Amino acid sequence: MLNSKIINWYEFNKRDLPWRNTSDPYKIWISEIMLQQTQVVTVVDYYLRFINSFPSISALASANEQEVLNHWQGLGYYSRARNLHSAAKSIKDNYKGVFPDSFDEIIKLKGIGVYTASAISAFAFHLPYAAVDGNVYRVLSRLFGVSESTSSPKGKKEFQALADELMADAPPHIYNQAIIEFGALQCTAKNPDCEVCPLQAQCFAYINKQQDVLPAKKKKVKVIDRFFYYLYIYNDTRFLLQQRGERDIWRNLFEFPLIEADNKIELVDLINSEAWETLLKDIKVEVTERKITKTHKLSHQNLHIEFVHVRIENYEFEKFKSLISVDKEVAMNYPMPKPIEMYLAGK
């Protein structure tokens, strides 16, 4: 049976990851959400810190949003943290604080889709749900020679049926871990290790030399360029922050006052811009430094970021009514977008 070959491979090759040593649905849930857009090596430390600070559903539900976001700082895609927090409150209110134990209830929680509901159902409750993430999709596509993409409903259905069939009556918690790990370590996107693969004899892609063709490539999404000019307005002990709004990237996170331009502009044009004038009207300033950083890439946006240092006198801080004057010592308590956090850490 193909599934027992995958499970045997797993027993010899699996990594020792902290969320694999538990059947607590809460911990499995946290790990699955963190792993959605982040690599395993990065997640381990974040996961341990998060579980340490919020060891239970009730601890997470009682925390305030800023605390939760602070633990997410650097992982990106902050809506994941907000959804976790909101779902924890809903478990507390609607399920007496006990994680629901059926797929149909799990999938109702905020931020949980078919894959995550299947994974939690299988890992924590040993229910017969085959989880199809990017790793599983790649393995199935190559193994069975399926060129349909998972972005279409037809493709999703086809891969789900294949995954269910392959799992058959194997123990769901082991089989799912095994095939996900197999995709992550053996049947990798680039250079799959076919020469020592236990599925070689049955693998369509190997037999037909189609490893580079399968799975079908996703259509490229249009990426836009944005030009951010951050003003680090400071003196010896303090600097200014503002909170981002609801409708853009980095929702509600804290950042330096920002001037966004339609394209790259020179410092002199920035200083003469209307936005600069509005922000720094009647303030005595000294521009001390300008730093251009690497382009920060998000899934649909390239952010070209520059930091301009603007020194002001202590008494001037009071004039910025809508901005927050922050003590440098405690600035890291504010959840911030990664480029700001990295910038401050490197200062």
Where do contacts with ligand SF4 occur on this chain (CB under 6 A)?
A: 139, 142-143, 186-187, 192-194, 197, 199-200, 203, 205-206, 211
Evaluate the omega torsion of the peptide bond into residue 215 and state whether it is cis, within 30 degrees of 0. Answer: yes
Smallest separation, CB 98 to ligand SF4 (Å): 39
Smallest separation, CB 6 to ligand SF4 (Å): 9
Q: What kind and span of H or E run contains 162?
A: helix 153-167
Phi/psi of residue 249, each to 5°?
-60, 160
- Which is closer to ligand SF4, CB of 182 or CB of 229? 182
- Which is closer to ligand SF4, CB of 22 or CB of 188? 188
* Degrees, nearest 5: CA angle 230-233-235: 150
Instruction: Note every long-range contact of 79-85, with CB atoms under 8 Å and residues 24 or more positions apart, other chains counting.
Output: 79/111, 79/251, 80/33, 80/34, 80/36, 80/37, 80/111, 82/251, 83/33, 83/110, 83/111, 84/29, 84/30, 84/33, 84/60, 84/111, 85/60, 85/61
**Contact yes or no for 81/253 (Cβ under 8 A):** no
- Which is closer to ligand SF4, CB of 100 or CB of 215? 215
Kindly state the greatest CA–CA separation across the chain.
76
**Contact yes or no for 260/225 (Cβ under 8 A):** no
- Which is closer to ligand SF4, CB of 180 or CB of 187? 187
Smallest separation, CB 268 to ligand SF4 (Å): 56
Q: What kind and span of H or E run contains 47?
A: helix 40-53
Smallest separation, CB 8 to ligand SF4 (Å): 14
Spatial distance between the Cα atoms of 136 and 189, rounded to a whole number of angstroms? 11
Could you tell me the two tokens for 305? Answer: 């970021």
Catalytic residue (one of 32, 181, 255, 341): 32
Smallest separation, CB 177 to ligand SF4 (Å): 17
User: DSSP assignment, residue 211?
Assistant: T
Spatial distance between the Cα atoms of 203 and 213, rounded to a whole number of angstroms? 14
Q: Give the 3-state secondary structure of residue 307.
A: strand
65 is catalytic: no
User: DSSP assignment, residue 306?
Assistant: E
Smallest separation, CB 13 to ligand SF4 (Å): 12
- Which is closer to ligand SF4, CB of 9 or CB of 250? 9
Amino acid making up residue 85: H
- Which is closer to ligand SF4, CB of 170 or CB of 303? 170
- Which is closer to ligand SF4, CB of 212 or CB of 282? 212
Smallest separation, CB 196 to ligand SF4 (Å): 9
**Among all residues, which ones are annotated catalytic?**
32
